[in-house]
Amino acid sequence: MIKTEFVVEIDNNPGALAKICSALGKNGVNIEAISTERIGTQGFVHVVVDDEKKAKDVLEKEGFEFTETAVIVKRLENKPNALADIARQLAEEGINIESLYLSGGTGKATNVVFVLDDVEAGKRLLG
């Protein structure tokens, strides 16, 4: 499934992540997947939500700087080589995985967020 990932730039300070999560939550936006990273003194929050339009409105209203990227969320069986098989299929088609992170799941399956260099080709391959 193609979703929108919001990459929010924050200062790498205590409470910065809480500010983003609180702003989304108090406006009824549920976080489905989240990942953070730090480059130097800047932090970046990668977030996939249940209501993309509302999230965009909230982030703009609160003055956050962010970008939007199309990503694929794929449910994978929680078993050896599940991710290796997908990565190999993408590689064989010349599709690069720019990044990925987990978005939860159950004991039997895990949702993975794929940031690909060609989302449309990835969607055709991954279904």
pTM of the model: 0.90
Mean per-residue pLDDT over the chain, rounded: 94
What one-letter code names the amino acid at 54? K
From-to residues of CATH 3.30.2130.10 in the chain: 2-68, 71-126
Q: Which CATH superfamily is domain 2-68 in?
A: VC0802-like (3.30.2130.10)
pLDDT in tens, 32-49: 999 999 998 899 999 999
Level-2 CATH architecture, domain 71-126: 2-Layer Sandwich (3.30)
Q: Give per-residue pLDDT as tens, 50-69.
A: 999 999 999 999 999 999 99
Q: Distance between CA atoms of 96 and 78, rounded to whole angstroms?
A: 22
Query: Taking residues 86-109, what's their average pLDDT?
Result: 92
CA 9 to chain centre: 14
